[in-house]
Amino acid sequence: MTEIPYDDIDAINAAAGDDYGAFGPAVEITQDMINRFADITRDHQWIHVDEQKAADGPFGTTIAHGFLSLSLLPHLVRGQVPITGHRNVVNYGADSLRFILPVPAGSQVHAKSRLLGAVRKESGTLVKTSVALHIVGSDKPSILYRMLTLYQG
């Protein structure tokens, strides 16, 4: 995809489409990562941190917190939407978020995105992107997220 200036609303909207781009780099979700996330968020539910109990649980192993997987998206989709010329990018929230499949400890995840469109705001350009996070090798996404990002000049 060609680079698009953050303030060129027409060009951003023209680049929007129905097809996701290629997957970005993969990241391994380790048990240590899950445990550290549990410590930070104080969410020590056994399905995340108790490997012995989780082995007999509904997923057969520990799973990543949904918000841990979600928090990796800025890294996983970096450079997939080539908007340039901004001085600042702000997370503006979400239009929708679905946790579809659990992410087992030890899994590799990667993400792909597609540009949905943009609107001008007084404080910058609000860009909507659809992101799909998958476990490597899975056709079905683990997370579907409609992300809102504010680009400022």
Tens digits of residue pLDDT in 75-106? 999 888 889 999 999 999 999 999 999 999 99
Task: Single out the residue of 112, 122, 120, 118 nearest to residue 148, CA to CA.
Answer: 118
Q: What is the pTM of this model?
A: 0.93
Spatial distance between the Cα atoms of 131 and 21, rounded to a whole number of angstroms: 10
Q: Find out whether 6 and 86 touch, Cβ atoms under 8 Å.
A: yes
Domain ranges of the chain: 4-152
Token pair belonging to 35: 């445990």
Q: Which CATH number fits domain 4-152: 3.90.25.10, 3.10.129.10, 3.90.180.10, 3.55.10.10?
A: 3.10.129.10
Computed over every residue of the chain, the mean pLDDT equals 96
Return the pLDDT at 1.
Answer: 67
Using a pLDDT cut of 70, give the percent of the chain over it: 99
Return the pLDDT at 44.
Answer: 98
